[in-house]
């Protein structure tokens, strides 16, 4: 599956000043796992280089104007943004990374200037980003700057790989039995976000109302996309680790128990990263051949080379 992206983040010289905003995490790491679909709405309606544009509050409306000549270009930016957003199919992208702060691509906290002189406020949303949000409210969206935060990065990566997973799964035209297996494999990943969300997904799968499989799959997709958009927390992840430990605690020695429980506590107290605990748990899961846990996405949510779980700051 593909990842939508603001073109300038890939190194394309499409910024207003003729430069780019290449982002190494995207071009050096994510590039191995995703095909990028670049978008630069401004390049399609203006020349490059061009006069910068900015958002301006006029009465209660946000308009887009050129910075020096003060020409209103709102309609142009609106139209091209809408056109590009409409070209994207629901199952084509598994996420989108926007260029932060841009009046066109910024996802949040874009500067909005007063009409007359005065301080700007960080209250705007880029016109193009807003169109994508409106069209695909459950598509994983992030900005390159926010992805410097390990916690947001971990959550975003989990979300895009899970997003990719569900759409690929649905393309296989699964039966209810396969949906149950899919759902089970996500048990602890969703638990780490919200017990309630997993319960809701479980009741869709249980299908007490004897709905048709197509309706169940559609309901499940919607609830699943909502569930994976939630952020995980240290306390939920801690509870999941204790659950996993519960599968084999009766089979191990007192010393082994102490070692595992200590490492889970150390994770909770932010002394060691999640990967250190997972490595220990995986040893026991293999040793006791616990098939149910081997398939859990929580233990292996994305390629380990991305190494996010080795950062203590990836959890809050």
Chain positions contacting ligand SF4, by CB under 6 A: 6-8, 14-15, 40-43, 99, 102, 104-105
What's the token pair of residue 131? 């169109």
Q: How far is the CB of 155 from ligand SF4 (least distance, A)?
A: 23
Q: Are strands 93-98 and 141-143 parallel, antiparallel or unpaired?
A: parallel
- Determine the Cα angle at 125 with ends 224 and 30, to 5°: 55
Q: How far is the CB of 64 from ligand SF4 (least distance, A)?
A: 11
Q: How far is the CB of 9 from ligand SF4 (least distance, A)?
A: 7
Peptide bond into 49 cis (omega under 30): yes
> Which CB, 74 or 300, lies closer to ligand SF4?
74
Cβ partners under 8 Å of residue 88, min gap 6: 4, 132, 135, 136
**CA atoms within 13 Å, Cβ hemisphere of 101:** 8
DSSP character at residue 72:
B
> Which CB, 44 or 170, lies closer to ligand SF4?
44
Task: Specify the DSSP element, H or E, that contains 235.
Answer: helix 234-246
> Which CB, 40 or 204, lies closer to ligand SF4?
40
Q: How far is the CB of 22 from ligand SF4 (least distance, A)?
A: 11
> Which CB, 80 or 306, lies closer to ligand SF4?
80
Q: Are 76 and 128 in contact (CB under 8 A)?
A: no
Q: How far is the CB of 141 from ligand SF4 (least distance, A)?
A: 14
Q: How far is the CB of 142 from ligand SF4 (least distance, A)?
A: 14
DSSP character at residue 54:
E
> Which CB, 36 or 169, lies closer to ligand SF4?
36
> Which CB, 39 or 156, lies closer to ligand SF4?
39
What's the token pair of residue 56? 């301006």
């Amino acid at each position: 599956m593909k990842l939508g992206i603001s073109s300038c983040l890939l190194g394309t010289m499409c910024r207003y000043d003729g430069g780019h905003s290449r982002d190494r995490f995207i071009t050096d790491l994510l590039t191995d796992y995703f095909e990028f679909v670049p978008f630069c709405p401004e390049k399609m309606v203006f020349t490059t280089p061009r006069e910068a544009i900015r958002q301006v509050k006029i009465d209660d409306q946000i308009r887009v104007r050129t910075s020096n000549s003060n020409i209103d270009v709102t309609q142009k930016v609106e139209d091209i943004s809408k056109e590009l957003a409409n070209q994207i199919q629901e199952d084509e992208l598994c996420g989108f990374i926007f260029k932060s702060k841009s009046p066109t691509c910024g996802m949040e906290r874009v500067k909005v200037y007063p009409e007359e002189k005065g301080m700007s406020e960080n209250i705007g949303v880029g016109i193009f980003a807003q169109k994508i949000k409106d069209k695909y409210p459950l598509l994983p969206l992030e900005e390159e700057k926010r992805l410097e935060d390990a916690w947001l990065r971990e959550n975003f990566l989990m979300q895009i790989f899970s997003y990719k997973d569900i759409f690929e799964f649905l393309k296989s035209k699964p039966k209810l039995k396969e949906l149950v297996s899919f759902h089970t494999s996500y048990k602890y990943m969703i638990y780490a976000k919200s017990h309630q969300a997993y319960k809701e997904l479980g009741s869709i799968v249980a299908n007490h109302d004897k709905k048709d499989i197509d309706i169940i799959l559609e309901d499940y997709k919607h609830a699943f996309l909502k569930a994976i958009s939630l952020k995980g927390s240290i306390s939920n992840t801690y509870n999941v680790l204790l659950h996993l430990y519960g599968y084999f605690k009766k089979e191990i020695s007192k010393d082994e128990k102490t070692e595992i429980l200590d490492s889970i506590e150390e994770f909770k107290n932010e002394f060691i990263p999640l990967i250190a605990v997972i490595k220990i748990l995986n040893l026991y899961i293999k040793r006791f051949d616990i098939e149910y846990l081997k398939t859990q996405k929580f233990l292996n949510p994305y390629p380990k080379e991305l190494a996010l779980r080795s950062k203590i700051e990836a959890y809050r």
